[in-house]
Amino acid sequence: MEVGRVCRDAALPTFDKADLVSRVYRQVKRLLVLATDFGFDENLWQNYLTFLLITDENPFTLTCEKMGVREGSVNHFAMQDFAAFRELFHYDFAPLEEKLGVDCFSCLTSYRAIEKPELMYNKSVSEKVRALSRLLAAAPDTQSFFAAVIDFYAAYGVGQFGLNKAFRIHEAEAGRVAFQPINNMERVMLDDLVGYEIQKQQLVENTEAFVSGKRANNVLLYGDSGTGKSTSIKAIVNEFYPKGLRMIEIYKHQFKNLSQVIAQIKNRNYKFIIYMDDLSFEEFEIEYKFLKAVIEGGVETKPENVLIYATSNRRHLIRETWGDRSDVHLTEQDVHHSDTMEEKLSLATRFGLAINYSKPSRDEYFAIVDELAARYHIDMPVEQLHFEANRWEMRHGGVSGRTAQQFINHLLGKSN
């Protein structure tokens, strides 16, 4: 750690003061960047050390995540590291500041974060780090310090999976897959989605079984656009996040990386939903073959802590042509087209649970508008509200829950 090297060099009989001051402020800048990203406050030094403790994935922390570590020989060695960390937590920077003529560390121990938490992309991470930081600062001894950290590992896990609920993937060095947290995920809950009670209940029951360690199915949510399919899955993740549910969003061009993704998450102490939004394939696309192999049919069994949830406007996912209907179509490419059609349609059957989100009727559309208007305290006669809602949907894509929400947003914009 560079701060440690600065303290060491400052203790030498001769040192370059200007160089040390420059190095100190470079590290202060790093702390300020971290504080801005995560909304840390109060004692940034302690926040930083806490952040290191709960994001470092190593054999000890991963074991704590899975089983907890209260006893065992490894604790003897780990306790020494935690004793050193506790000393760093209460390190006195006053002599260093006096020697270099700076007061930056004093400022960092009473720092004020941004004043609008709703603007923070990493609010969930910030809250966890600051709460544990205060707990560790108050720990009366190393044993209490150690217990607080491993309790955190047991409750939330370690690393980015412990701090975040949703992720995307990207290819990192050496062809490995890296996970990128989604920090601004919509905070929608199932009650926010008006209607579709049967569909939501099916989704809840399947996910409840999954996070409880029982058998559950991969899920395909299909139907008309704007009916709440994607919203339902986001809400499910928000509802079950405290029970260890995490979501990884994957795009079609990334299906070739599915095996790598599963290999990296199969031994973690979380339940993962691999989420595929607006899933469909054109006739010439073959990415669905990767998906079929992963869901069911590969040599390696899909781990019990992974399910696939997908949304699609197509019930059978893959575009079917009239040519697919001809059993014998003499071409150089494919003699038996019906076999090709069966191969394509078999993808949808790999999802054990298919839930239909159909377009609402006119009356159901008005019911959604009424409910949203009540939630947002829009005071308008029902007849006028329905008349305006009717005009809006005719100009904006037909009746759907999405259209209803857009109409309410329009009214709210006019009222301000």
Task: Please count the CA atoms within 13 angstroms of the CA of 274 that sit on its side-chain side.
Answer: 31
pLDDT of the residue at 81: 87
pTM: 0.79
What is the average per-residue pLDDT within 285-305? 67
> pLDDT for 313-372, tens place per residue?
866 655 555 455 554 444 455 544 555 556 556 666 778 898 999 888 899 999 999 999
Residue 322's pLDDT is 45
Q: What is the pLDDT of residue 200?
A: 92
pLDDT of residue 328: 46
Is the pLDDT confidence value at 46 over 50? yes
> What's the confidence (pLDDT) of residue 134?
93
Condensed to tens digits (0 to 9), the pLDDT of residues 119-165 reads 455 677 888 898 999 999 999 999 999 989 988 888 888 888 888 88
Q: Which residue has the higher pLDDT, 16 or 235?
A: 235
What would the two tokens of residue 198 be? 């049967």
Structure tokens at 153: 């590992």
Q: Check residues 72 and 67 and name the one with the higher pLDDT.
A: 67
Q: What is the per-residue pLDDT across 241-282, written as a single tens digit (0 to 9) for each?
A: 988 899 999 988 888 888 888 888 888 889 999 998 887 666
Angle at 119 between CA 116 and CA 124, to 5 degrees: 95
Q: Which amino acid is at 292?
A: K
What is the DSSP annotation of 240-259? HGGGTEEEEE--GGGGGGHH
- One-letter amino acid for residue 357 of the chain: Y
Which residue intervals of 120-194 are DSSP H helices?
123-137, 142-156, 160-163
- For the segment 106-116, the average pLDDT, to the nearest whole number, is 73
Q: Give per-residue pLDDT as tens, 84-96.
A: 889 999 988 888 8
Q: First and final CA of the chain: distance in angstroms?
A: 52
Residue % of the chain over a pLDDT of 90: 26
CB 45 within 8 A of CB 31: yes
- 3-state class of 273 per DSSP? strand
Strand 166-171: give its sheet, edge to edge. 177-181, 166-171, 245-249, 271-276, 306-312, 219-223, 353-357
Between the CA of residue 266 and those of 55, 256, 343, what are the distances in Å? Answer: 19, 17, 28
Pick the more confident residue, 201 or 66: 201
CB 89 within 8 Å of CB 49: yes
Q: 89, 136 in Cβ contact below 8 A?
A: yes
DSSP state of 190: G
The answer, yes or no, to whether residue 299 has pLDDT greater than 60, is no
Tokens of 12: 């030498």
> Is 206 or 14 the better-scoring residue by pLDDT?
206
Q: Are 165 and 244 in contact (CB under 8 A)?
A: no
Distance CA 98, CA 130 (A): 28
Mean pLDDT taken over the chain = 82
Do 344 and 384 form a contact (C-beta atoms < 8 A)?
A: no
Q: Are 105 and 97 in contact (CB under 8 A)?
A: yes
Q: Is the distance from CB of 401 to CB of 195 less than 8 angstroms?
A: yes
Q: Cα separation of 416 and 197, whole Å? A: 32
The percentage of residues in the chain with a pLDDT greater than 70, rounded to a whole number, is: 80
pLDDT score for 214: 92
